[in-house]
C-alpha cells in the first residue's frame, strides 16, 4: 500500500515570498490533516479536512495560510506571504476515520524562510 506522498521535500524562500505544498493521501482515506512542526516541538495541527470539507482550521493563520482539498483527494497548503517564523516542517497525514483510526504521515516538507 502506497503511503502519504508530499512534495517538495525541501524549500527555501525569502520572507514575503509565496510557497505551496502538495499532499496525496492514502487511497480511500477520507480525513486529511496538515501539521506544522517547529524544530524541537511536537506537530501542531493547522487544518483538518473530511473529504473536501474543512472540519477544523482553528489554528490556521488565515491571514497568510490557505488550504484546499479538491475532489476530496489531493490537498495543497499555501503560505502568502511567508514570514521568518514559518520556517518549519509541514506534515500531511491521512486516516480512515478521525479519532479512532491511526493517522499515517508523509515525510514532510522542510521550509526555510530567509
For other proteins, the binding residues (CB under 8 A) are 4, 33, 40-45, 48, 55-56, 91, 93, 97-100, 102-108
Q: Which lies closer to other proteins via its Cβ, residue 18 or residue 101?
A: 101
The distance of closest approach from Cβ of residue 15 to other proteins in the complex, given in angstroms and rounded to an integer, is: 25
The distance of closest approach from Cβ of residue 16 to other proteins in the complex, given in angstroms and rounded to an integer, is: 28
The distance of closest approach from Cβ of residue 63 to other proteins in the complex, given in angstroms and rounded to an integer, is: 21
Q: Which lies closer to other proteins via its Cβ, residue 13 or residue 26?
A: 26
Backbone angles phi, psi at 84, to 5 degrees: -60, -40
The distance of closest approach from Cβ of residue 85 to other proteins in the complex, given in angstroms and rounded to an integer, is: 19
Q: Which lies closer to other proteins via its Cβ, residue 17 or residue 103?
A: 103
For the chain, give the DSSP string. ----EEE-SEEEE-TT--EEEEEE--TT--EEEEEEE-TTS--EEEEEEETTEEEE-TTS-TTTEEEE-GGGS-EEEEESS--GGG-EEEEEEEESSTTTSPPEE---EEEEE-
Amino acid at each position: 500500500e502506497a503511503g502519504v506522498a508530499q512534495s517538495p521535500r525541501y524549500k527555501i524562500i525569502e520572507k514575503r515570498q509565496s510557497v505551496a505544498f502538495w499532499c496525496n493521501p492514502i487511497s480511500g482515506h477520507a480525513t486529511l490533516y496538515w501539521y506544522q512542526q517547529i524544530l524541537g516541538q511536537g506537530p501542531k495541527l493547522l487544518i483538518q479536512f473530511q473529504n473536501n470539507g474543512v472540519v477544523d482550521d482553528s489554528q490556521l493563520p488565515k491571514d497568510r495560510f490557505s488550504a484546499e482539498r479538491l475532489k476530496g483527494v489531493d490537498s495543497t497548503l499555501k503560505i502568502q506571504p511567508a514570514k521568518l517564523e514559518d520556517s518549519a516542517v509541514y506534515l500531511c497525514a491521512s486516516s480512515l476515520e478521525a479519532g479512532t483510526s491511526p493517522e499515517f504521515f508523509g515525510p514532510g516538507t522542510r521550509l526555510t524562510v530567509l
